[in-house]
Amino acid sequence: MKASPTLTNNLQAVLADLIELHIQGKQAHWNIVGTNFRDLHLQLDEIVDAARQFADDTAERMRALHALPDGRSSTVSKSTALAEFPEGLISTKDAIERIVAAMEAAVGTMRKVHDEVDEEDPTSADLLHEFIAKLEQFAWMVNAETLKPTASVTAPDEK
């Protein structure tokens, strides 16, 4: 099978976002400060590793379909849907908000192109399903660091 220009462009959009997510994850990893530093530092490496693997899987799928992936920094910077990550030290709370937003933007691109990808190549759509599930799980887990509980629990003897 040979990818159409539409399939190529859709997979390229996913690739650009995954490369940018990897870069932003590393930027956050190196520059976070504050509460729960170590936990977030380690979580960011998990996200970075997944984003790198997903980018590689996407690029290799593109090559299998005779499409040419473009991972050059100039291409990624002008085509990614992710907002630019700030320069300098960033608090763990702000980093969480930025990384969750980046993962949600990458997932948004995948959901946006999904139906056209699936119509032409269900195998590529299966990859998107895998990426979406994992990135949404990461977003939930990282974001849980900033959420406030909604239940209050009292000990039985305090009633």
| Domain residue ranges of the chain, discontinuous segments joined by + | 3-143
Distance, in Å, from the CA atom of 89 to the CA atom of 118, rounded to the nearest integer, reads 41
Please report the pLDDT score of residue 158 as a whole number. Answer: 64
- Please give the CATH superfamily to which domain 3-143 belongs: Ferritin, core subunit, four-helix bundle (1.20.1260.10)
Measure the CA–CA gap between 26 and 49, rounded to whole angstroms: 10
Residue 159: band (very low, low, confident or very high) from pLDDT cuts 50, 70, 90: low
**What is the pLDDT at residue 137?**
98
Write the burial class of residue 57 (CB in 10 Å: 0-12 exposed, 13-18 middle, 19+ buried): middle
Considering only residues 159 and 45, tell me which one the structure prediction assigns the higher pLDDT. Answer: 45
Residues 103, 47: contact at Cβ < 8 Å?
yes
Task: Look at residue 69 and give its three-state secondary structure.
Answer: coil
Q: Please compute the mean of the pLDDT values over residues 116-138 and round it to a whole number.
A: 98
Are 44 and 100 in contact, with CB atoms under 8 Å apart? no
Q: What is the mean pLDDT of the chain?
A: 96
- Residues 31-88 have pLDDT tens digits of 999 999 999 999 999 999 999 999 999 999 999 999 999 999 999 999 999 999 999 9
Q: What is the pLDDT of residues 80-94, one digit of tens each?
A: 999 999 999 999 999
